[in-house]
Structure 1
Amino acid sequence: MKKIIYSLVICFTISQAISCKSEAKKGTETTTEEVKEAKKAFVLQDATNTIEWIAYKTTEKVPVKGQFQKVNITSGGEGDSVKEAINNAEFSIPVSSIFTKDTSRDFKIKKFFFGVMDKTELLSGKLVLENDSIGYTNLTMNGVTKKLPFSYSLNGKEFALNATMKISDWQGETALNSLNEACKDLHKGADGVSKTWDEVALNITSVFK
């Protein structure tokens, strides 16, 4: 009789343990589903982000075009609309991802420009939209954080930003002179003067899925 009772107790204990595990598994599955449902409709990290820049050389102000091929969204960047996803998004851009279709130029920009700056393996900042057409980013470069105003437009799922920055605003004169010296002959115009301009235009687009 004792053996029968003992067997029944063991069976009951095992069935309870299995039941608890099933309930725990169901709870985990529900949590996972809830996380998936919580993902916003617009995610900046998943968008096609293109960061193009235009620098200038020679007295005639000849444009030199390039881009950064990588950007990381470090905070925010999600929303129920494109504007919500952009606003307050924080980002970092590795300067190693620079690309100008000229490997020699890429090397010189990395070494003699960004390489001369202080703590500039990354460019970082936060995007703030002030109204439906203008905003700013607190851009950090060369150990300096400064407000960079920009204009922007929204067209469906596409966000387009335009800005013009002065390198000297980020105390980059030494880096600019270093690059100009490394590219001295290449930056000479018809007047024989070698010049690298302080001005850089930025054109950024984000096309959401």
Structure 2
Amino acid sequence: MKKLIFPLLLCAITLQLTSCKKETKKEEQKEAKVEKKQAPFSLKNADNKVNWTAYKTTEKIPVKGQFKKVNITAGGEGNSAKEALNNAEFSIPVSSIFTSDSGRDFKIKKFFFGIMDKTELLSGKLVLENDSIGYSDITMNNVTKKLPFTYTLDGKKFSLNATMKVSNWEARKALDSLNTICKDLHKGADGVSKTWDEVAINIVSVFK
């Protein structure tokens, strides 16, 4: 009898342990499914373009470029586009700068951003104040300043426009450095070499 009881107990324990493992696995699968579920609007999945326009010579000739990469570091999800955008935090690697001129890209990285303090990344947070204006707390050159912007939101398309005054981020030294290395290229018909302090910013995000 004792010989019969022991195998039965062993089977019962084994069945119990197997059952527990199955339950644990089901719970883990449920949690995984919950984690994978995304909000209807996600900036991480949107088509994000960060465009900028700088200016050279006294005639204020535009020099256009963009950053090819933007990372959403916090927030960026919601049940509406506005909810996803508001309070979203981001970072932009300066190494992703692109102007269709590799020589110019190199100079901007080395003689402009490279002169700044701790500026491998530009970082910020979007705050929408109402249906047309907002601001972003931009960190550049180890300085954080508020950058006001206007914006439009048409269905799934968000478009932001701002003018950034570089000297507000204590980056006059970096601007002078870039103007020195580009002295002849930034010289206009009047013979004066000039790199403007302002940069126009345009960000477009199209939600999928």
TM-score normalised per structure 2:
0.98
1:4: which partner in 2?
A: 4
Cα deviation for residue 74 of structure 1 reads 0.9
- Aligned partners of 1:165 and 1:24: how far apart in 2? 54
Query: What are the ranges of 5 or more consecutive residues in structure 1 without an aligned counterpart?
Result: none
The residue aligned with 2:28 is 28
The question of 1:186 aligning with 2:185 is answered yes
Matches of 1:15 and 1:145 in 2, distance apart?
61
Q: Determine the structure 1 residue equivalent to 2:79.
A: 80
Root-mean-square deviation over aligned CA pairs: 0.8
Q: Deviations over 1:70-111 (max 9, x none)?
A: 111111111101100000001111100000000000000001
CA distance in 2, matches of 1:18, 1:194: 78
Amino-acid identity (%): 69
Query: How far off is 1:11 after superposition?
Result: 1.2
Q: Distance in 1 between matches of 2:34 and 2:108?
A: 46
Q: Secondary structure at the match of 2:149?
A: strand
Per the alignment, residue 169 of structure 1 pairs with 168
User: What is the match of residue 103 of structure 2?
Assistant: 104
Q: How far did 1:45 drift?
A: 1.2
Secondary structure, aligned partner of 1:115 = helix
Aligned ranges for residues 34-49 of structure 1 at < 5 Å?
A: 34-37=34-37, 39-49=38-48
1:47-196 alignment, distance < 5 Å? 47-196=46-195
State how far apart, in whole Å, the 1-side matches of 2:6 and 2:173 are. Answer: 85
Structure 2 Cα separation of the partners of residues 52 and 34 of structure 1: 36
For residues 128 and 59 of structure 1, what CA distance do their matches in structure 2 show?
34
Secondary structure of 1:45's counterpart equals coil
How far apart are the structure 1 equivalents of 2:35 and 2:178?
A: 48
Distance 1:31 1:122 in 2: 34
Aligned length: 208
Paired residue secondary structure (1:46): coil
Gaps of 5+ in 2: none
Structure 2: distance between partners of 1:147 and 1:48: 25
| Aligned-residue offset at 1:36 | 2.9
Q: What displacement does 1:118 show?
A: 0.9
Q: Deviations over 1:116-154 (max 9, x none)?
A: 111111111110000000000011111111110000000
